Amino acid sequence: MSESKAKLDGAVIAEEDDGIRLDRWFKRHREGTPHALLARWARSGQLTLDGRKADVSDRIATGQKLVMPTPPVETAARPARKGRPLTDADIELATGMLIHRDASAIVLNKLPGLATQGGTKTEQHVDGLLDALKYEAPVRPKLVHRLDKDTSGALLIARTPRAAAYFAKSFSNRSAKKTYWAIIVGVPDIQQGEIDLPLAKQPGSGGEKMHVHDSGLASKTRYRVIERAGNSAAWVELQPLTGRTHQLRVHMAAIGHPIVGDGKYGGKGAFLTGTISRKMHLHSRRLRIDHPDGGAIDISAEVPEHFAASLDALGFDLLLGEVGIDPAEKGPPPKSALKAQAKAHSKQIRKARRGERRGRTADSKPTDFVGKAKPKAKPGKPGKPAPGKPTGRKPSVRKHPARLPKAS
């Protein structure tokens, strides 16, 4: 055995790694291997999948055979960093939010005030609780999208790397459908419509705040007023057609109707008097997304306690919220269907033209009046034959060569 072969290592891609990038596989199974070293192996052809040269960005599939050089000693895998040990209270919190679980996905009804991911001075968050939701799965669950800290409702989590890649693609291509409920200050003049305002990071906010700006990214939100409480407040359904940071909050504030409790974008005017809670009234009510194993997930999350109390205090009827949620939108027709439609349309045009050609024969009506009665000829002037009537004389070929009758 040659020295070069002796230094090679190999692995077979397991099912839980199906669909992930090759560099991600190394982070999981060869954690100490630097990315620069991986790139050098790929450029030199020392990294192969099923005998073919591989790139670090390639997506891998179950059963593929990966061959790579054995990493040097100094790049041997380091032990994974351990998070804060979960307490009984943490486990109870995580499992208490669970509203759906299958082999590939988990859906939580996230509580308001709980961050999705960690950050400065944020010790408790959904990502830090995911070890409590591993159950019998071989790998730790993974977040595939996020909700703002103060936004409650349906939050999807993938249980396998394959599912994570599938769900991430669904969110990026906008095939996943999200429906939110919100209570807003005031009532829009138009009961149902679409807000189309570009959004950009607001200067001086450190990227923590967004605003409407012509140079921003295209952002669209569909809204519908479910019910109104006089002129003081309204309960609305919101559907983000794009996924910009704080999109729903900025759009509603921009049209003069901030979400109740959203002081960040609505200022003092975002709070109602009386018994209405000062917490954010924005809730991810329903999530619809295709499932990697077939079918779809279509699940609704109950509103949190403060939101339900506000609905009740304002006299809103919960049943009205379900009426306007539209059915899942169908995707664009397949190319085969579009081709069939075009073919049928062309056939109709050809048939119509054949009818026109038949209409040009000597015994047919003029083509300008196909399918219509021929208009009556106007009477001619006294002493002159009426237009269209024969005069009894044959046309002169020499004088009127262009008036020769067409051969039938």
CATH number of the domain that residue 35 is part of = 3.10.290.10
Q: Is the pLDDT higher at 68 or at 226? A: 226
- Whether 345 is covered by a domain: the verdict is no
Average pLDDT over residues 180-185: 98
29 in a structural domain: yes
pLDDT of residue 364: 43
Give the pLDDT mean for 158-177: 90
Which domain-ending residue is among 270, 302, 323?
Answer: 323
Q: Are residues 66 and 116 in the same domain?
A: no
At which of 323, 342, 359 does a domain end? 323
Do 157 and 275 lie in a common domain?
Answer: yes
Query: How big, in percent rounded to 5, are the helix, strand and coil portions of the chain?
Result: 30, 25, 50
Q: What average pLDDT does this structure show over 308-323? A: 91
Task: Give a yes or no: residue 364 inside a domain.
Answer: no
Note the pLDDT of residue 341: 58
Distances (CA, A) of 122 to 29, 119, 144, 265: 29, 5, 20, 22
Of 40-44, 87-91, 216-220, least confident by mean pLDDT is: 40-44
Is 93 found in the same domain as 66? no
Helix (H, G, I), strand (E, B) or coil at 13: coil
Residues 228 and 313 in one domain: yes
Q: Is residue 340 part of a domain?
A: no
373 occurs within a structural domain: no
Is pLDDT of 350 > 80? no
Q: Does residue 227 sit within a domain?
A: yes
Residues 226 and 115 in one domain: yes
| Domain identity same for 302 and 159 | yes
Taking the whole predicted model, whether its pTM rises above 0.85 is answered as no
pLDDT at 355 over 90: no
Q: What is the mean pLDDT of residues 18-31?
A: 81
pLDDT for residue 353: 60
Q: How do residues 106-118 score in pLDDT, each as one tens digit? A: 999 999 999 998 7
Contact 195, 184 (CB under 8 A): no
Same domain, 176 and 141: yes
Task: Report the mean per-residue pLDDT for the chain.
Answer: 81
List 185's β-bridge partners, or say none: 233
Q: Of 75, 103, 120, which residue sits at a domain end?
A: 75
- Rounded Cα distance between 303 and 292, Å, is 28
Same domain, 13 and 66: yes
Task: State how many domains the chain has.
Answer: 2
Same domain, 169 and 69: no
Same domain, 272 and 208: yes
Residues 40 and 140 in one domain: no
Contacts by 304-309 with C-beta closer than 8 Å and gap 24+?
Answer: 304/111, 304/112, 304/152, 306/112, 306/277, 306/279, 306/281, 307/152, 307/181, 307/183, 307/277, 307/281, 307/283, 309/275, 309/277
Q: 371 forms bridges with which residues in the sheet?
A: none
CB 10 within 8 Å of CB 48? no
What is the per-residue pLDDT across 130-150, written as a single tens digit (0 to 9) for each? Answer: 999 999 888 899 999 999 999
Q: Structural domain of residue 193, as residue ranges?
A: 89-323
Contact 286, 300 (CB under 8 A): yes
150 catalytic residue (yes or no) = no
| Per-residue confidence (pLDDT) for residue 222, from 0 to 100 | 97
The verdict on 113 and 59 lying in the same domain is no
Assigned domain for 384 exists: no
How do beta strands 142-143 and 192-196 pair?
unpaired
How much is the pLDDT for 193? 95
CATH number of the structural domain spanning residue 151: 3.30.2350.10
Most confident by average pLDDT, 42-46, 188-192, 382-386: 188-192
Per the domain annotation, does 346 fall within a domain? no
pLDDT over 90 at 282, yes or no: yes
Residue 81, pLDDT above cutoff 60 = no
Q: Which of 148, 196, 290, 317 is catalytic?
A: 148
Indicate if the alpha-carbon torsion angle 398, 401, 405, 408 is positive or negative.
Answer: positive
Where does the pLDDT of residue 289 fall: very low under 50, low under 70, confident under 90, or very high at 90 and above?
A: very high
